[in-house]
């Protein structure tokens, strides 16, 4: 399956560069229902130190999505398109990488497939995928049901989506109404297709590739997001040069819920020099 952001496409992924492109670069990848706009408050805080590259992933924000060909190839082609986009818009030096949830899954695959592009990475509330084809098939069936809900009643879906326990702490946060409003800007048909093509059921498992990693990684998870705390622990046990930071009193959206701590941990990690 080809996407509108393939290397030869005339309609690339919508990408915004924040400030001075001569500064060290950070590529930010958002979660499902989001867009590059999600990272703007973070980018504003970092603009004197970094050039922040904010991408709208396929079917989100201003990036289109097309369903042609083999849907099982779409996830990997998205990773390849991001690598090509990064190579086209960035300097030769490796950059930093940050991905959250769906964007974290894509970011981890991007890092493991193109390690030469990155100096360090932060993966937030994300996983290397499902280990078996049976699990992936079951997840695709579940995601198809969700995609149909998005197409039938988008506002009702948004309301139900944030009733999930992993978003409980976000719903009680002052930023929630702003986040919810931004989600409704997206195109429901595009989001449904994105879920069908970029959901965990379509993601090739990278569990077995973690042990070959040589790029420093920090995995972030919210204390209240028990599923991803456990996944984070499992990943650290397999992945060399990695660590897990658990954000107290936070859920799945820890970068929204405690932006100050997230920024502190990000800058500390990215500014720390590696031993020569």
Residue 21 — very low, low, confident or very high, per pLDDT cuts 50/70/90?
confident
Higher-pLDDT residue of 21 and 96 is 96
On whether residue 2 sits in a domain, the answer given is no
Per-residue pLDDT tens over the stretch 115-129: 999 999 999 999 999
| Number of domain units in the chain | 1
On whether residue 182 sits in a domain, the answer given is yes
Per-residue pLDDT tens over the stretch 127-182: 999 999 999 999 999 999 999 999 999 999 999 999 999 899 999 999 999 999 99
On whether residue 5 sits in a domain, the answer given is no
Question: Is the pLDDT reported for residue 10 higher than 50?
Answer: no
For 73, counting Cβ atoms within 10 Å of its Cβ (0-12 exposed, 13-18 middle, 19+ buried), the class is middle
Query: What pLDDT is attached to residue 22?
Result: 80
Per-residue pLDDT tens over the stretch 199-238: 999 999 999 999 999 999 999 999 999 999 999 999 999 9
**In 3D, which of 42, 10, 21 has the Cα closest to residue 260?**
42
On whether residue 7 sits in a domain, the answer given is no
Query: What pLDDT is attached to residue 19?
Result: 58
In what side-by-side order are the strands of the sheet with 25-29? 15-18, 51-55, 25-29, 95-100, 118-124, 217-222, 242-247
pLDDT mean over 56-63:
93
Query: What pLDDT is attached to residue 88?
Result: 74
Residues near 27 by beta carbon (within 8 Å), at least 6 away in sequence: 53, 55, 82, 86, 95, 96, 97, 98, 107
DSSP class of residue 68 equals B
What is the spatial distance between Cα 247 and Cα 98, in angstroms, rounded to a whole number?
16
Question: Is the pLDDT reported for residue 275 higher than 60?
Answer: no
Query: What pLDDT is attached to residue 6?
Result: 34
Query: Considering the chain, what is the average pLDDT of its residues?
Result: 90
Whole-model pTM: value is 0.92
Residue 9 — very low, low, confident or very high, per pLDDT cuts 50/70/90?
very low
Query: What pLDDT is attached to residue 2?
Result: 28
CATH number at residue 99: 3.40.50.1820
Strand partners, 99: 29, 123
Q: Which domain holds residue 207?
A: 15-271
What is the spatial distance between Cα 158 and Cα 35, in angstroms, rounded to a whole number?
15
Residue with tokens 């992993």: 166
For 275, counting Cβ atoms within 10 Å of its Cβ (0-12 exposed, 13-18 middle, 19+ buried), the class is exposed
On whether residue 228 sits in a domain, the answer given is yes
Handedness of CA 60, 94, 52, 218 (dihedral sign): positive
Residue 243 — very low, low, confident or very high, per pLDDT cuts 50/70/90?
very high
């Amino acid at each position: 399956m080809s996407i509108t952001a393939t290397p030869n496409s005339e309609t690339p992924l919508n990408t915004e560069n924040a400030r001075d492109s001569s500064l060290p670069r950070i590529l930010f990848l958002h979660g499902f229902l989001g867009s590059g706009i999600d990272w703007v408050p973070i980018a504003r805080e970092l603009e004197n130190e970094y050039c922040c590259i904010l991408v709208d992933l396929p079917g989100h924000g201003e990036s289109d999505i097309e369903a042609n060909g083999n849907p099982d190839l779409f996830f990997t082609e998205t990773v390849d398109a991001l690598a090509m986009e990064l190579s086209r818009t960035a300097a030769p030096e490796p950059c930093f990488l940050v991905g959250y949830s769906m964007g974290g899954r894509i970011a981890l695959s991007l890092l493991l497939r193109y390690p030469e592009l990155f100096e360090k990475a932060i993966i937030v509330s994300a996983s290397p995928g499902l280990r078996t084809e049976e699990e992936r098939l079951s997840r695709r069936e579940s995601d198809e049901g969700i995609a149909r809900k998005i197409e039938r009643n988008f506002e009702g879906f948004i309301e139900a989506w944030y009733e999930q326990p992993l978003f409980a702490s976000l719903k009680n946060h002052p930023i929630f109404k702003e986040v919810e409003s931004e989600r409704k800007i997206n195109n429901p048909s595009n989001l449904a297709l994105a879920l069908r093509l970029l959901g965990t059921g379509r993601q090739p498992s990278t569990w077995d590739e973690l042990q070959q990693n040589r790029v420093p990684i920090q995995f972030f998870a919210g204390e209240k997001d028990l599923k991803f705390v456990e996944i984070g622990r499992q990943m650290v046990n397999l992945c060399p040069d990695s660590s897990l930071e658990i954000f107290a009193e936070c859920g799945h959206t820890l970068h929204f819920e405690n932006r100050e701590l997230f920024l502190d941990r990000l800058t500390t990690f990215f500014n720390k020099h590696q031993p020569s």
